[in-house]
A and B are shown apart, each in its own frame.
Chain A
Amino acid sequence: MSDHVAVRVSGLRKLFGKTEVLRGVSLEVRAGEVFGVVGPNGAGKTTLLRIVAGLLRPSSGEVEVLGHRVPEEVDRVRRHVSYLPEEANLYARLTGLENLRLFAMAYAGNRDVGEIVELGTAIAGLPESDLKRRAETYSKGMSRRVLVAASLMVRPRLTILDEPTAGLDVVSARYVREVVRRFSRELGTTVLLSSHNMFEVSKVCDRVALIYSGRVLALGRVDEILAGVGAEDLEEAFAKLVGGEGA
């Protein structure tokens, strides 16, 4: 795998019992880009991201992350990959700062934990008084800001964000999108994010994969996909692509 490919997925299939959730997914995420996996609920986005994060085993196919086969060599890349699950919560009895400190310690290695937490505090953009409160008192937007900060502050080479703005109000969603865009560039982090929000991926992602029923329908820059399908926006492109499948 060349240095400029962060994730390579080839012929990936995943079955849960008799249900086939991924049906031969292939894609590449280039180093330093923000790559969006977009599709409706049940399309297989979360399963794909969990496999890339090394939490699920593929039924067949190959996955390479930062040049290492996953899940076989996942322990060699964990320190360089952070993952934010869709419905993740903070540890309610810890403060926001303590939550940041926990993930900073988990990833620090020889780095200074204090510096990592300081960066996390900046990314979260919450007042210190809020960060010193227990997370059980946080709104969903505040929790999500701290969780996104915890994923980016450790300066991973790849961060995987599953529906990072799901369930957030407009202001919080906008903040998260801006933070992901800005800090991924500043820190040189590759971002693999999933979303069912076509508007969001158009705004944030350099390239996207449209995924439906476990298959990749289209892959490329948003303008390339729109031109290829003859649509004005991703939503229309998606509708045209799945039209033949009864969507």
Chain B
Amino acid sequence: MRDLYVVLWKELREIARDRRTLLAVVLTPIATLPLLGIALVYLPGLQEVLVAVVDEDLSEGSVGNLTVSSQSVVRFVRGYLEAWGFAVTEEDAEAADVVLRVPAGFVANLTSFEHQASVVLVKRLGSPRADQAATYVELLLNYVSRLVSEAKVLALGELAGQDVSAEAVLSPISLKRVVVAPTGAPAGLREELKLQLGRLLAVSLAFVTTPAASYIADSLVGERERRTLEKLLSTPISRSSFILGKSLAASVVGLVGGTSSVAGAVLLYAVPALFRPTDALPHLPSEILVVLFLCSYASILASLSISLPVVLASPTIRAASISSTSAIGLASVVYLATLFVNLDELRMPASLVLAVPYASIASAVVRAALGEPLRAAGYLAYSLAFSVALILASTRLLDPERMVASRT
């Protein structure tokens, strides 16, 4: 234990005096995660997209009790698009990214019982914001279409002397959507948001892996290149204390990064809402943050345990850095996959991915968000056991001859 204390004493002093690195570890997630939020929500709104809504019909008609004109349709579409931040013109602009053309005869066909009215929607390829505008136009036209359909059904019922419900004719099957948690308890919007948030925060764990994995690479191989390793290895400090002390110090660095990652995740969640007042800032469950913090530490240990054997075999700090970056890459892929799939519900052999500690950590976050604390704890315990076992096994891999004699 005393040996371990000696190594830890040295490492923590060195860390505390490396203020630039510490600052980078703290600021990176705090700066990048909110930027991610801004990039996802705010930046698309800044892209200039011009929508042209061209009325070539300029007529009015009625069906049943509903009077409709091509201009009222155009005004309706324009009003909503402008509210959502799009530039709208009623001119036939060549520069427009999206063009909705309402042709002559539109209203006549819209109000007729024999013909279908048609419009033309032209979308310029290559802009996600233009895709969004086109999707909104389709939604608005569907709404208009539904209003006219209801008026037509009521008019036909009146002609036939039959009591008619527009809903019964247009949507004879009513679908009631009930969402339940895995426990069977009813789940509402809050639970769904919590799950989405859990998946999103699992992605943020990728930021945690970087400082710890980089630190262990520098700490072991860098010490050789700074020519301090040989003397330290010749002291009575045991090899296991040497490795464990450095791993503990790296986990402290990772924990600092993990804490700021949680802070960054809160900002990631909050910042888009500041730019989009239409989005209410839903309740951010504190238990998710606690789980995220625990998973951050588990993720740090996982990165250390995976990096350590490779770093110990690396001849140069460059090779060690590349090796530890591979661990970070693996973590990023697994955490990103959590956005799209429950990793613990895959069929064999894909389910073997759970053996990778990052996958079990990501599953722990998702299960905690789904209100299954025991399963979450199980996944977390597995990843911790895996990491600690691998770190302990790595202490046997420390070969002073390789560390001392390999070329730098």
Chain B, residue nearest A85 (CB): B230
Inter-chain CA distance A89–B237, complex, in Å, is 18
Tell me which residues from 123 to 172 in chain A have a Cβ below 8 Å from any Cβ of chain B: 134, 147, 150
The answer to whether B228 and A88 have CB atoms under 8 Å apart is yes
| Chain B hits for A50, CB < 8 A | 230, 404-405
- How many whole Å from B116's CB to the nearest CB in chain A? 77
Q: Is B235 an interface residue (CB 8 A)?
A: yes
Q: Is B115 an interface residue (CB 8 A)?
A: no
- How many whole Å from B63's CB to the nearest CB in chain A? 82
Tell me which residues from 212 to 251 in chain B have a Cβ below 8 Å from any Cβ of chain A: 226-228, 230-238
Known: A55-B230, A91-B228. A106 touches B236 (CB 8 A): yes
| Residue among B232, B235, B237 facing the most chain A CB atoms (10 A cut-off) | B235
Chain B, residue nearest A101 (CB): B9
Q: Is A78 an interface residue (CB 8 A)?
A: yes
Tell me which residues from 35 to 83 in chain A have a Cβ below 8 Å from any Cβ of chain B: 50, 53-57, 75, 78-79, 81-83
The answer to whether B226 and A54 have CB atoms under 8 Å apart is no
The answer to whether B234 and A81 have CB atoms under 8 Å apart is yes
Known: A94-B10, A106-B3. A55 touches B233 (CB 8 A): yes
The answer to whether A102 and B6 have CB atoms under 8 Å apart is yes
The answer to whether B234 and A83 have CB atoms under 8 Å apart is yes
Inter-chain CA distance A81–B237, complex, in Å, is 12
| Chain B hits for A147, CB < 8 A | 231
Chain A, residue nearest B405 (CB): A56
The answer to whether A105 and B236 have CB atoms under 8 Å apart is no
Q: Is A107 an interface residue (CB 8 A)?
A: yes
Q: Is B13 an interface residue (CB 8 A)?
A: yes
What is the size, in residues, of chain B's interface with A at 8 Å between Cβ atoms? 26
Of B3, B9, B234, the contact of A55 (CB 8 Å cutoff): B234
Of B18, B233, B237, B401, the contact of A57 (CB 8 Å cutoff): B401
- How many whole Å from A177's CB to the nearest CB in chain B? 20
- How many whole Å from A76's CB to the nearest CB in chain B? 10
| Chain A hits for B2, CB < 8 A | 105
Q: Is B17 an interface residue (CB 8 A)?
A: yes
| Chain B hits for A54, CB < 8 A | 234, 400
| Chain B hits for A98, CB < 8 A | 13
The answer to whether B231 and A84 have CB atoms under 8 Å apart is yes
The answer to whether A53 and B17 have CB atoms under 8 Å apart is no
| Residue among A57, A82, A89 facing the most chain B CB atoms (10 A cut-off) | A89
- How many whole Å from B406's CB to the nearest CB in chain A? 10
What is the size, in residues, of chain A's interface with B at 8 Å between Cβ atoms? 33
The answer to whether A55 and B231 have CB atoms under 8 Å apart is no
- How many whole Å from A101's CB to the nearest CB in chain B? 8
The answer to whether B227 and A94 have CB atoms under 8 Å apart is no
Q: Is B14 an interface residue (CB 8 A)?
A: yes
The answer to whether A88 and B235 have CB atoms under 8 Å apart is no
- How many whole Å from A140's CB to the nearest CB in chain B? 12
Q: Is A92 an interface residue (CB 8 A)?
A: yes
The answer to whether A93 and B14 have CB atoms under 8 Å apart is yes
Q: Is A90 an interface residue (CB 8 A)?
A: yes
B371-407 near A? 1/0 per residue, CB < 8 Å: 0000000000000000000000000000011001100
Of A16, A89, A94, the contact of B13 (CB 8 Å cutoff): A94
The answer to whether A82 and B234 have CB atoms under 8 Å apart is yes
| Residue among A16, A91, A109 facing the most chain B CB atoms (10 A cut-off) | A91
Q: Is A238 an interface residue (CB 8 A)?
A: no
Known: A84-B231, A102-B9, A147-B231. A93 touches B237 (CB 8 A): no
The answer to whether A55 and B236 have CB atoms under 8 Å apart is no
The 9 closest A-B pairs by CB, nearest first: A83-B234, A106-B235, A93-B17, A85-B230, A78-B236, A89-B227, A79-B236, A105-B6, A55-B400
**A–B Cβ pairs within 8 angstroms, 15 of them:** A50-B230, A53-B234, A55-B230, A56-B400, A56-B404, A78-B235, A81-B234, A83-B230, A88-B231, A91-B10, A93-B18, A102-B6, A105-B5, A107-B236, A150-B231
In the complex, besides A94-B17, A103-B231, A105-B5, 6 extra interface pairs with C-beta distance below 8 angstroms are: A56-B400, A85-B234, A93-B14, A93-B17, A103-B235, A150-B231
